[in-house]
Each structure stands twice: as structure tokens, then as C-alpha cells.
Structure 1
Amino acid sequence: MATRAGLDSETIVQKAAELADKGGLDTLSMATLASELGVRPPALYHYFAGLAGLRRQLSLLGLQEVSVRVGQAVQGKAGDDAVLALAHALRDFASVHPGLYEAASRAPDLEDREWQVAGREVVETMIRALAAYRLSDDATRLVVRMLRSIVHGCVSLERIGGFGLPNVNDETFGCLLGALLDYLAGHLAGKGA
């Protein structure tokens, strides 16, 4: 089948990202995407190995964008300032691009080197942001998971109105980050810093 003039993989992924951000990653289908692009669904298979291949590309795009945003957010910052900047950059990205955030949050396929590298870049930026706390490798990775869990939990609950009270999203997020910073301060105090 001939491809539509002007259609390329980047255009398709960008449209898929828009649709995922608008309706959620799980609502994205090849049929809906093809309709939005003005082609028949089989035309998309020229570019991607089905929906799984398209979602992989969305994960890569999301990870690239997260990497840039968190890198910029933490640049020149250390300690608590870096942790707060990192958390807010992740939360802001999730709020603006919920579909891409969801795609980027999925664990990479263990056999997919490109996906593994993209995920590792984000994690390494987070690890560098925690350097001032002088954590062991295991403790650093735990804190990365804790930070991701705080952001993801708050973002997910905010998205569905899960707090059920007005004006509590920022307060809740701030208190959870404060608890994480207290945890890190306790670690430093335990080291005699």
C-alpha cells in the first residue's frame, strides 16, 4: 500500500503522543491514529510493528523528553534544591503530557537496548541529582524509586480527582517531598555530616 505524502514515522509518533496525552495511552489504537492522519490503518504498519511498536516509540519519545526536562531542572542545583527541582519537573511533565508520561514510566523491555539506554539516561540524571547525599548505590536507587512513587502517586490521584478536596494537591505533594527530604537529612545525620 502506498504511504501518504508527507507522512513519516516522526509525524505519526507526534500525532500518537497528542492522542495519548488527550485520551490516555490505553485509548490509543492504530485505527484511531490512522483516522486522525487520514490514512487507512494498514498504512501505519509500514512504519511500526503494530501498536506495540508504536507504544515503544512513544516510550522512547517520553523518556527523551523527560531526560531533557529533568536535566534542565537540576542543572546547577544540589541537595534539597535538586530533589525538589527534579520532582517538580517530573510532575509538570506528567501534567502537561499524561500519555507520554505514562509511556515513559513503563519498564523497558529487557531485550531492547535502545529503550534500556533511554531509561538509564533518566535514572542517571536522577542519581546525579542525589549525589550530595552520599548514598550507597542501593540507597540511591531506593530514593529514585521513592521519588518516582511520590510523583506518580500524586499525579495519578490528581488526574482522577482522587483527593476529593479542593486545593490539596500542592499541599499533599509538598508534604510528601518534605518527608523524603527529612529521610535524606536523617541519612546524612547518621553519617555525621
Structure 2
Amino acid sequence: MVRAGLTVDRLVEAGANLADEAGFDAVTPSALAKIFDVQVASLYSHVKNAHELKTLIALFALNQLADQAAEAVAGRSGKDALIALANVHRDFARTHPGLFAATRFPLDGPTAAKSGGVRLAQMMRAVLRGYALSDADQTHAVRLLGSVFLGFTMLELGGGFSHSAPDSEHSWLRTLDAMDAVLRSWPQTT
């Protein structure tokens, strides 16, 4: 019997909150069962297993990030759009560290193709159109931007920049200036 009030949406919401409070690795069926004061078996009326639960939370996280990115980038172009997109990634990671980790949960191809990750990639490509890159070079640039957004943010959240001057905010702004310069002078392929 399905416990009254327990739904997939409530499980995902509770899992998202737990991820931000304790880390994405802490999200387990056992932990959520404790939150809802039910037996673990009760959760399996709503999700197949821990992997499906984490997949649903990852999809939720990707959609949240994509929604915030769409709002931030709307009406902007060029460097302004690049900065807005970068700041959304960094701010999301700072505000929702567990959900930020969830955005990196491995999804199978069909699931990934229906996720907010596709919208994020499309937004990156839209931003990159302002830099007049070829389609092939856009793919390389999307990977570069993703690496910078993720790498900088993970190092910053892990305390990697807290032991020396200048502060990480100054480095972030300089990094975005450098990314804009790199994109404006992207090498032409022959």
C-alpha cells in the first residue's frame, strides 16, 4: 500500500534538500525513509531503486539550473551573456552544492537527451553564436566553458583559492575576461 502523502515529487524535493544539506552522496533510500518516518520498502512504491532516485534528483537539478540560466541570459548577448551564464553556474553551486553535484550524476543517453542539460548546452551555443564560431568550434568551446565553470567552482568550493590573495572573486572576473578574449580570438581551422 502506498503511504498517504508520499509521492515521487515529495521524494525528489526531500532528496534535493538533503543533497544540499549533507551532500549528494548522503541521498539514499534509507535516509529518505528516515525523513518520512517510513520503511525503506515504502519508497519502492515510488522509485525502483537508489539509482532511479538519484537520476530523478539529477534531472531536477539540471532543470533548476537550466531555468535559472535561461532567465539570466534572456535579452543578453556577447560578453554580457557569457558572464550571466557563468555566474548562474557559480551561484547555483554556492547556493545548492548538493544539487550542483547532482548535475554531474551520470545519465544514460535517452535520459540525458530529455534533461535540462540539453537546454544548458543550447544556451551555451546561443551565447557562442555571438562570437562567430563554426559549429565544430562551438562544440569545443562548449566543452571549454563547461570545464572552466565546473573546475573553477569546484576548486573554489573546496577551499582551493582561500589561502592566497587576491580573493577568488577577483580571479573569477579575470577568468571571465580571459574567456571572452579567447572566444573573440578563437583560432580558425583550415
Q: TM-score, normalised by structure 1?
A: 0.89
Residue of structure 1 equivalent to 2:112: 115
Moved more, 167-176 or 49-58: 167-176
1:30-179 matches, cutoff 5 A: 30-110=29-109, 113-118=110-115, 119-165=117-163, 168-179=167-178
* 1:180 Cα deviation after fit: 0.9
Superposition misfits of 4+ residues, deviation over 6 angstroms: none
Moved more, 76-85 or 100-109: 100-109
CA contact (8 A) 1:94 1:101 kept: yes
CA contact (8 A) 1:154 1:169 kept: no
Q: Distance in 1 between matches of 2:72 and 2:20?
A: 22
Q: Secondary structure at the match of 1:105?
A: coil
Q: Secondary structure at the match of 2:185?
A: helix
Structure 1 residue runs of 5 or longer lacking an equivalent are none
Moved more, 113-122 or 92-101: 113-122
Q: Secondary structure at the match of 2:76?
A: coil
Moved more, 170-179 or 38-47: 170-179
CA RMSD of aligned residues (A): 1.8
Residue of structure 1 equivalent to 2:12: 13
Moved more, 14-23 or 171-180: 171-180
Q: Distance in 1 between matches of 2:8 and 2:40?
A: 14
Equivalent position amino acid for 2:112 in 1? W
* 1:107 Cα deviation after fit: 4.3
Query: How many corresponding residue pairs?
Result: 187
